Amino acid sequence: MASLITCPHCGVRPREEFTIRGDASPVRPKASASDDAWYSYVFVRKNPKGRSVEHWQHTAGCRRWLVVERDNAMSHEVYSVTDVSAKVIEAEQ
């Protein structure tokens, strides 16, 4: 059975239509942050096993960027999919 992702714009689609960018949890440091903070942001990443939040792009569909919460270990179950722009608006409030 193919993995399915529910795009908020296009509906249920096969995983092959999407491209993963990676972890969506790092927060960009302020421009005035230390070199160590920038080094950690750019080069240091956790690789947890289990439930994770990631950036995905619907490359074969609407081309929108999405935040996908899924199990990256055994089941690959998708728990939620949100448009990145909705997350940005949420963070600004």
Q: What local confidence, expressed as pLDDT, does residue 26 receive?
A: 87
Strand intervals (E) in the chain:
4-7, 11-14, 19-23, 51-57, 65-71, 78-83
Residue 82 resides in a domain: yes
Query: Whole-prediction pTM value?
Result: 0.78
Please name the residues in contact with 50: beta carbons below 8 A apart, sequence gap of 6 or more. 71, 72, 73
Residue 10 resides in a domain: yes
Residue 32 resides in a domain: no
pLDDT in tens, 13-40: 999 999 999 888 888 999 999 999 999 9
What is the tally of structural domains in the chain?
1
* CATH classification at residue 85: 3.30.2270.10
User: Domain range holding 71?
Assistant: 4-26+49-92
Please name the residues in contact with 42: beta carbons below 8 A apart, sequence gap of 6 or more. none
| Secondary structure class of 39 (helix, strand, coil) | helix
Residue 66 resides in a domain: yes
